[in-house]
Chain A
Amino acid sequence: MSQFSVSERAAASGVMSQTRAPYFVRKKKGITPRTIAILVFLSICALFFCVPLYVVVVTSFKTMDQIREGAIFSLPTIWTLEAWDHAWNHACSGIKCDGLKVGFWNSIFILFPSLILSISLAMVTGFALALWNVRWAGAFLFLLFICAFVPFQIIMYPLIVMTTTTKIYGTLWAVAVIHAVLAMPVLTLIFRNYYKDIPTEIMSAAMMDSGSFWRIFFEIIVPMSGNILIVVLILQITSIWNDYLIGVTFGGLTGQPMTVNLANLITISTGTTNYAHNMAAALLTAIPPLVVYFLVGKLFVQGVTAGAIKG
């Protein structure tokens, strides 16, 4: 929404300074310079993202012989799925050459516990901070706010020691717990701000009916959280799926996510580079969050705007 209006203004100011045509003239015509300017601007924006994507997609279908020729924009002379098959089934991550599918399943197994843990933790905390009289709630919120700005790299070492002491280092659970802890500041703030705007009448009625923290949470708050849950789900799925550092640090010997597989495939020291394989692998890794966007993208916008109107 805001992006559109900014571009509109930018385009309009550029045109207006030259033509200075009265407004009503433009109203009659179907296509005005202003519309053209907007369309040109938006096309350039789209090209900015589409051209590299085009190269990635096209390259993934080429043979290595054609890639060596160097014309990156040309269409494949022979369309081949070899690179995709190789990336999924045969790419090597170390001595194991079973493709990205190994990492894909690891990523899935990391994703669900991490999602459930991080979202449920933040939801309850946000609910408590927004609607209950918690002692030191203001100070706690402020602390959370500060925590949101602490880079993960700074606290990585202590976190390793803590997970080692609790005997979960090197397991899927360590990865899930760390994701939950690191996402907590931002997610809690999102939930807290959303719940803050629930009318006090609803809360008062609920208090009179039951007064139980958990009953109000499950029977009133959770059913009202649809929109914001979609927003948080998309945020979390994207960040957990694309995460490399937490997975590689806490995943240990067997729990490495798909991004580590991808990095192994693409980072070469003294080996040879197969660009077709790399492109196919990168696309395979990027697809799952994209699918989620396409499925619930509309709900995402609804969720964001719902929060915006209320706030």
Chain B
Amino acid sequence: MLKSILGGVTAALMLSSAASATDLIIYHNWSSGPEVAALNVLKDGLEAKGHTWTDIAIPHDTGSNVNLMNLVTGGTPPNVFLESSPGVYRDLAGLGLGRPLTEFFTEQGILEHYPTSVVSSITVDGEIMKIPTAIHIDGMAYYNMEVAKAAGVDPASWDSIDAMFADFQKIREAGYIPIAIGGQQWQVGYLTHALAAATGGPAFYNALYGAEPDPAVIDSAEMRTLLETLRRFQQEADEGSVNREWNVTTNMVITGKALMQIHGDWMKGEWTAAGKVAGTDFGCVQIPGAKAVPVTVDSWGILGGQPADVDAAELDFAAVVADPEIQAAFASAKGSTPTRLDAPAEVLDACSVEVLHILENADHQVPNPHSTVDADWQNSIWDVVFNFWSDPSMTVDDAIAQIQENYDIILG
């Protein structure tokens, strides 16, 4: 504590004396090794501006952030909080504690450096409310290069999902599981929206997972393709896939039991923790032939209604997070991808470079449902597709009928 205060004071003296030192309370749910390393990158940046960082970590899921609202109710709200769910920002705005950042980002000229999906993820009801800190792609295919070589296949050459499935027999004959899948509801839900983007493209995806879903897509050709593709993945799931954690599944690929896994690219952390190198030991490609990729954006929010000096310090924090150099350092520590397309590429690994390359195309990306869609609607889709997944006798028509019924109840 003393050390950090001294560090902050020295840094403040070295910089101009105009910035006054303020203590910011930073609330988040990150405690694993790579996450803490990434937080320290931000902390150093904040201290270089003369402020101090008071940390509070409480585990929670996005979308049900009761603890944050409890702190607000108790009169001890944090200044900065890691939160993606738009509902929380609406609640805070209702309490007069929202802090729109549209003006800040426009003045700083940062917005044009963000991929389009990032900009839509950080916008709540027309105002920019969040500071994007990290990007993850929800459906990347990570494969074991040694296994690919042994089986004589090259996942990078697949140009469609059909081409991928066509090689599966060859992989099985070589003695490997072609694709490792964790059969939990949320994992199947993530696979579903990744496939919706990959097979249906942005228009279909946004009609299904956008802020205002369009009922016309529920019974459409794209929806049928999506569910049929999902069924093919289910047929390929290995025996142990039921209720298997994603990281246990990743370990099957790391240890060479399976060739590949399609999941969020936070998988990279498991690979790195096992001492593997992107581009040498494992490769990463988007879902073969994908029309678009879903982008998860982890974002910070800052507290409004504060005195001028605290508000200035909070904006300093926003500037630290948005800084391209810090973005690159943060991403390489966390195993994520920078939110800025102009982040210096030399410190990034092969997979992050690939992701930034994909994201340069504005039409090839869509935001993760959690940051845009009604939570009930999202849950109801998960529910139906997981039933569909678990019961091979359920037909595409059954699933569509259920989704339609849920739409009528929730949004109709």
Contacts and interface: CB of A to CB of B under 8 A. Distances in A.
A268 B74 contact: no
B264 A248 contact: no
Given A68-B254, A95-B40, A170-B74, A253 B56 contact: yes
**Interface bin, chain A:** 35 or more
Given A95-B40, A170-B74, A252-B76, 19 more contacts: A68-B251, A69-B255, A91-B31, A92-B32, A92-B33, A94-B31, A94-B55, A94-B56, A95-B57, A252-B74, A256-B58, A267-B31, A269-B30, A269-B61, A271-B30, A271-B31, A271-B35, A272-B33, A274-B273
Contact of B30 (A69, A91, A94): A94
A193 interface: no
25 contacts: A68-B251, A92-B32, A94-B30, A94-B31, A94-B55, A94-B57, A95-B26, A95-B39, A96-B55, A157-B73, A164-B73, A169-B75, A249-B67, A249-B70, A252-B74, A252-B76, A263-B59, A264-B29, A264-B31, A264-B59, A268-B32, A269-B29, A270-B264, A270-B269, A272-B247
A93 to B, nearest CB: 6
Contacts of B34: 271-272
Nearest to A254: B56
Contacts of A92: 31-33, 36
A187 interface: no
Interface string B232-269: 00000000000001010001001100000000101001
Contacts of B264: 270
B274 interface: yes
Given A94-B30, A260-B58, A267-B59, A253 B269 contact: no
Nearest to B25: A253
Contacts of A268: 31-32
A273 interface: yes
A169 B55 contact: no
B270 interface: yes
Interface string B47-90: 00000011111110100000100110111100000000000000
Contacts of B73: 157, 160-161, 164
A252 B57 CA distance: 11
A30 interface: no
A248 B67 contact: yes
Interface residues of B, number: 45
Interface of B: 25-26, 28-36, 39-40, 43, 53-59, 61, 67, 70-71, 73-76, 136, 245, 247, 251, 254-255, 264, 266, 269-270, 272-274, 298, 334, 336
Interface in A151-195: 156-157, 160-161, 163-164, 169-170
Contacts of A164: 73-75
A270 B136 contact: yes
B137 to A, nearest CB: 12
Contacts of A170: 74, 76
A265 interface: yes
B70 to A, nearest CB: 5
Interface string A241-271: 0000000111011001000100111011111
Nearest to A263: B59
Question: Chain B interface mostly helix, strand, loop or mixed?
Answer: mixed
Contact of B31 (A69, A163, A253, A265): A265
B266 A160 contact: no
A163 B76 CA distance: 12
The 4 closest A-B pairs by CB, nearest first: A271-B32, A94-B57, A270-B266, A267-B59
A1 B137 CA distance: 57
B66 to A, nearest CB: 9
B58 A271 contact: no
A263 B53 CA distance: 22
Contacts of B43: 95
Contacts of A273: 32, 245, 247, 270
A70 interface: yes
A211 B111 CA distance: 79
A63 to B, nearest CB: 12
Contact of A169 (B53, B74, B245, B272): B74
A224 B334 CA distance: 60
A226 B243 CA distance: 49
A170 B59 CA distance: 17
A131 interface: no
A273 B274 CA distance: 11
A97 interface: yes
A64 B247 CA distance: 13
A253 B274 CA distance: 34
Contact of B29 (A249, A267, A272, A274): A267
B180 to A, nearest CB: 13
A94 B28 contact: yes
Contacts of B33: 92, 271-272
A169 B298 CA distance: 30
A235 B29 CA distance: 31
Interface string A53-73: 000000000001000111000
Contacts of B36: 92, 94-95, 97
A263 B336 CA distance: 23
Contacts of A163: 74
B30 A248 contact: no
Contacts of B74: 160, 163-164, 169-170, 250, 252
A173 B265 CA distance: 43
Contacts of B336: 270
A177 B385 CA distance: 46
Nearest to B266: A270
Nearest to B269: A272
A253 B76 contact: yes
B191 to A, nearest CB: 17
A175 to B, nearest CB: 12
A169 B76 contact: yes
A260 B57 CA distance: 9
A184 B25 CA distance: 35
Contacts of A270: 35, 136, 264, 266, 269, 298, 334, 336
Contacts of B40: 95
Q: Which of A69, A92, A253, A269 has the most CB of B within 10 A?
A: A269
